Amino acid sequence: MLSNIAQKMLLKIGPETAHDLMILGLKKTCNTPLANLYRQNLSSKPLSVMGLEFPNRVGLAAGLDKNGEAIDAFYDMGFGHVEIGTVTPRAQPGNPKPRIFRIPEKKAIINRMGFNNQGIERVLCNLSKKKTEGIVGINIGKNRNTPLEKSTEDYLFCLDQVYPFASYVTVNISSPNTPELRSLQFGSFLSELLSRLKERQDELANRYDRYVPLVIKIAPDLNISEIKSISEAVLEINLDGIIATNTTVDHSPVVDFKHSKEEGGLSGAPLFESSIKVISALYKLLGNKIPIIGVGGIMTAEDAEKIFSSGAKLIQIYSGFIYHGPNLIKRINSLDD
Ligand SMILES: Cc1cc2nc3c(=O)[nH]c(=O)nc-3n(C[C@H](O)[C@H](O)[C@H](O)COP(=O)(O)O)c2cc1C
């Protein structure tokens, strides 16, 4: 498939330029005959999770299409859902470049993008141009210059804005690239944030007469007692789902490789062990009460199989897509053929 050749060529140029070119190329070609270059007609494997009907179990993880510019193209490739964002109330530039680094020997990426995005208003305008029916998750975060104590206001603002347009909403409290963000995963910060969001979700469900599931996305760098407290909070508040995991701050699996000392979150193959541990621990605590969406280091169909076996109902990929292209979606989707 031509898209696999394009993907190999993109791996030869700088990661952020490659990313921007890919999004631009997809944005320009989706909904035109050129979309046939990457369209994959996968067998339908519908399943119901969080009250939503997913066409298959493989989704695009947040961060690739932060501004929701090429959603139709990702559906064409066969993704069963696309998560856009992280989007913040106001547009922000993110960290200075360079801020994405590939470690090809380890099929890994380190990034410290820092929630660069066009801001909620513009992202919703992009989303309104989407032509294909499909599941779209909107991942929300706080602006970098919003103090931690005021972060709930940013999340509530985002929830209000995105609610009518999202299939589900993800509360990102686990990016390592926004100072202090990950402290929202703990103690009173977490319970206050989740209970305020849940309350607002109920109000919005009444207002729009439509229930939009709310999920949180957590880090892989959590110990068992932290995973336990998060599970308790999620159960108590009756959240709709949990995405595990974001990138890791532990760079030890890539030490000795070029870029290993770059600050930021590590993703790709070396993340797999940590994310599957978190998913397994969550599943032991939550069982089938709260669905888990597994993400982190899924580079092959076998990895995906292991994540499903450890309890995830759906999966998402980012780095696997960068290194293996749309073919990976097809291989994972063929698992039960
Ligand atoms: C360059 C880059 C940017 C990312 N941006 C976001 C983001 O904005 N929000 C988010 O929740 N996760 C973000 N992620 C994390 C991914 O969604 C995913 O959780 C993580 O990369 C682990 O999956 P993977 O090993 O398949 O890449 C980003 C990852 C990368 C590599």
Index of the ligand 1 atom closest to the CA of residue 322: 27
- Number of domains present in the structure of the chain: 1
What's the pLDDT at 2?
58
Is the sign of the CA dihedral 46, 170, 118, 25 positive or negative?
negative
Where does ligand 1 bind, in terms of residues with CB under 6 Å?
A: 61-63, 66, 86, 100, 109, 111, 113, 115, 139, 172, 175, 217, 246-247, 267-268, 271, 295-298, 317-320
Is the pTM above the cut of 0.95? yes
pLDDT, tens digit only, all 337 positions of the chain: 557 788 889 999 999 999 999 999 999 999 999 999 999 999 989 999 999 999 999 999 999 999 999 999 999 999 999 999 999 999 999 999 999 999 999 999 999 999 999 999 999 999 999 999 999 999 999 999 999 999 999 999 999 999 999 999 999 999 999 999 999 989 889 999 999 999 999 999 999 999 999 999 999 999 999 999 999 999 999 999 999 999 999 999 999 999 999 999 999 999 999 999 999 999 999 999 999 999 999 999 999 999 999 999 999 999 999 999 999 999 999 997 8
Q: For 99, phi and psi rounded to 5 degrees?
A: -145, 5
Q: Are strands 214-218 and 52-54 parallel, antiparallel or unpaired?
A: unpaired
Of the chain, the end-to-end C-alpha distance in Å amounts to 21
Pick from 63, 46, 320: nearest CA to 170:
63
* Given 151, 167, 174, 175, the catalytic residue: 175
The per-residue DSSP string of 134-158 comes to -EEEEEE---TTS-GGGHHHHHHHH
Beta bridge partners of 85: 139
* CA distances to 42, 69, 154, 182 from 16, in Å: 29, 16, 27, 25
CA–CA separation, 218 and 182 (whole Å): 8
Range of the domain at 262: 2-336
CA–CA separation, 86 and 253 (whole Å): 26
- Between the CA of 84 and the centroid of ligand 1 the distance, in Å, is 11
Q: What is the CATH number of the domain that holds 17?
A: 3.20.20.70
